[in-house]
Amino acid sequence: MKLNLKRPLAFFDLEATGINVGADRIVEIAILKAFPDGSEEVKTWRVNPEMPIPLQTSLIHGIYDEDIANEPAFKTLAAEIAAFIGESDLAGYNSNKFDIPMLLEEFLRADIDFDMSERKFVDVQNIFHQMEQRTLKAAYKFYCQEDLVNAHAAEADVIATYKVLLGQLEMYKEKEFENKQGEKSIPVVNDVDALHAFTNLHRPVDFAGRMVYNDNGEVCFNFGKHKGKTTEQVFSVEPSYYAWMKQGDFPLYTKKKLDEEWAKFNAKKNENKPARPQNQSATPKAPYQQKPKPVAEKPAQPVNNDMLEQLKMKFGK
């Protein structure tokens, strides 16, 4: 089956030093770029994370410190990777929660402005988990009737993810889905816009899930004491919450989206301020009062005999 694409769709997979989006670093990235004409292009980069890879992580993906010691850092590769992705939409396996947030963190550290505003992003895992609820290895076996060899190698995983999506489109092209509200639909269709909608049911703002859109399209916090409240509601009663998040251990992309919400809040607040009358100055002046004239002092008189006599009479001298 050929994907019905309006523009390229870049499937990508990351291997990293760990799963902490804000603290860990990429050690390998593979991208399969599917084009509207049906052609494909695959590129893989090994990356020096500029930090040690924990042994337990290396045992999973098979990449050790010595394997990437002479590889370039991500900041050296960032422009090349961004150019290869170009204007593509993005797809991956668990990409909304891990791969996309981590890639955006690395781009921000490298001062690459990777615009996400017009892109669609398809998380193949979300289709799978909502329809079958299994892992990539099981998904590959289930949809492709093959065993996934060399799992957790970025290129093997990204190719498997691409094939799993093709299998999902074939298997679910007429299958009905019922959501938690009891609404029924046939969501898995050969259209990136529809797949984007189906794999982003929680409508994240920052991909890490700290902020989400509510049913009215408003940005809400999705954690802590303000969970479910809009950013405008929180900033109105507790503006220090913005500073707390900016200083906290949150991903850079979360903070970037937080800045956007803070700017919108302040712009709206300034629009609602009452206009100051043009003929009235900011601080009214006190009414004019004439200063009292200083009293002229009499010039000092020289001491004479009369004055001495008066002093003698006063003090009995």
Q: What is the mean pLDDT of the chain?
A: 88
Least confident stretch, 175-179, 182-186, 189-193, 199-203:
199-203
Least confident stretch, 72-81, 85-94, 221-230, 269-278:
269-278
CA 84 to chain centre: 22
Q: Name the 3-class secondary structure at 215.
A: coil
Q: How far is CA 221 from CA 49, 228, 234, 259, 262, in A?
A: 31, 6, 9, 14, 13
Domain 9-201 has CATH 3.30.420.10: yes
Beta bridge partners of 163: none
Q: For the chain, what are the domain ranges?
A: 9-201, 204-272
Which of 18-22, 68-72, 148-152, 179-183 shows the highest mean pLDDT? 68-72
Q: Is the pLDDT of residue 149 over 90?
A: no
pLDDT at 308: 62
Q: How far is CA 235 from CA 16, 139, 212, in A?
A: 35, 43, 16
Q: Is the pLDDT of residue 283 over 80?
A: no
- d(C-alpha 213, C-alpha 233), whole Å: 14
pLDDT (tens digit, 9 = 90+) per residue, 75-112?
A: 999 999 999 999 999 999 999 999 999 999 999 999 99
